[in-house]
Chain A
Amino acid sequence: MTELATYNFAYLDEQTKRMIRRAILKAIAIPGYQVPFASREMPMPYGWGTGGVQLTAAIIGPQDVLKVIDQGADDTTNAVSIRAFFQKVANVAVTTRTEEATIIQTRHRIPETKLNANQVLVYQVPTPEPLRYLEPRETETRKMHALEEYGLMHVKLYEDIARNGRIATTYAYPVKVAGRYVMDPSPTPKFDNPKMHLSDALQLFGAGREKRIYAVPPYTEVVSLDFEDHPFEVQRFDKPCTLCGAEQVYLDEVILDDKGGRMFVCSDTDFCEDRRAHGHVGPMLAPNGPAADGLPGSKEAAE
C-alpha cells in the first residue's frame, strides 16, 4: 500500500515557506501593494482561509501563541477548525485571549483590544483586488494600480451618494495606504477601518485562491476613501452590549424569538468575556434584570 507522506512543521514544505516569506518581505516594503505568490493547495478549501493559513504557517515558530477568530469569535466553526489544524501541524500554544497572542489570524474583524508591537495580525482575504467588482480583468486593474489611477473607485462611491444619499459600502471599505495604493482591507466592517491606521502591530493579508499577499507595516497611514462633503463615518450602535455593557464596539444581532425579539452582544467574544470577568455587566445581566431595558422586542438598538 502506498505510504502517505508525513508533514513538515506547520504543514508547508520549506521551499513553499521561503517563497511566501520572500513575498511577505516585498509586501512590507510596498505597503498596500498585492504581491502575487504561488499559493498552494491546503487541506481546507480555497475561500476558507488558505491565504491566512499559508501566511501563518510561513511565519509561525514554536515560541508563538496563536489566536484564531472568525466574525470576532474564537468559537465559530472555521476558527475552531483552523486553530486545531495549527495545533496538529505545529504543536503551537493557542489562546483565545487577544493580549496573550503573538499571532492573530482573523476573518472579517479586528479585535477590539488594541494590538501591540509584539503582535502580527493575519487577515484572511477572499477578494484582494479593491477594484475587482468594478473591473473584472486583472490585466486592467494591475495597470490602474501601476499608474495610481483610481478614478473608477471614486466614481463608484460618488454614484452611491447620488443614488442612495450616502456611500453604500459597509464592509471591505477601500482604503489608501501610505498615500499610494488603494487596498481592500478584507471584509471587515468599515467600523474597523480606523484600527488599521498607525497600528503598533504588523498587518499581513493573505488571499489563497486569488494568490496575493499584501501588508501594512506598523505606524502606517491607512485612510478610508471619501469626499469632503461626504466624509467617512463608522457605524454606531446606540445601545451597549447586552451582556457586558461595552460601548463603541461592534455588536452582533442575536434573534431571541419568532416575534422579532432581538438583542445585541459584542462580536469580539474575548473582549466581552474579559469585561464580564472584570465585573462589567450589561442590561441583561444587571441586577435589575432584562425587563429594565425593554428587551426582548427591542428593535432599534442599531441606529
Chain B
Amino acid sequence: MNPSLIHTLVLLTIFTSFAAVESRNLRHATVAYLFQALLIVALLVAYSTANRVLLYWAGTALVTKAILVPWFLWRATEKTQHETRPVIGFGISTVLLIALLSGMYKFTHTHAGLFTSPSKEMAAIAATNLAVAFTVFTLGIYAILTRRDAIKTVIGLCLLENGVHLSLVSLAPGIRETALIGIATEVVVTVYLLLYIIAGIRDKFGSTDTFQLSELHW
C-alpha cells in the first residue's frame, strides 16, 4: 500500500465532491460524480494490496457507481442541464468544506480506537480515509439540504452513499460480499426510482425546483 498515492486519491475525492455539489451545470456535476466513482474504485484497488477482498468491492463500485448511476443521471439531464439557483452559494460552501474537513480529520485521528489496524501506518491511513469518508458524507447531506434542484439532491444522495462506502473500507473491511452487493444495489435502485419520480415531477410541475413542491403542508 502506497501512503502518498492514497493521500492523493482521497484529496482528489474531496475535490470531486465539491465540484459535484458546486457545479451549476447538472451534466458537469454528473461528470464530477463519475470521476469520484473512478477514484473510489482506484482507492479500493490500492487498499486491496493489504486486503484482497477489497477487489470485489472495487468491481461492485465500478459497475454501480461508475457506470449505472452516471448513466441514469445523464439520461435524467437530457431535458434540463442548468441547475435551479441553490440556497447557499460558492463562498459559504468553501468555508464550510474547510471547517468540515479539519473537524473530521481531528475527530478520526483522536478516536482511532473505533477501528482496528495491524500497524500504526495503516491506522493513520484508515483514520484519514475515515475523515474523507465522513466529509464526503456530510457534503452529500449539505447538498440535499441546500440545493433546490431535485436532480442535484439525488447527486447529493449519491455523494452521501459514496461516503458510506468509503467508511466501510476502514470500519468493516472483512464484510461479506453479499452484504456489500446488497448495499450497493440498493443505492442504484433508489437513484433510479428517485429519478423516475423526478421525471414525473418535471411533467406535472413544469420544473425540478423542490421549492415548488408545496402541495403538502403540515
Q: State whether these chains interact.
A: no
Could you tell me which B residues sit within 8 Å of A by CB distance?
Answer: none
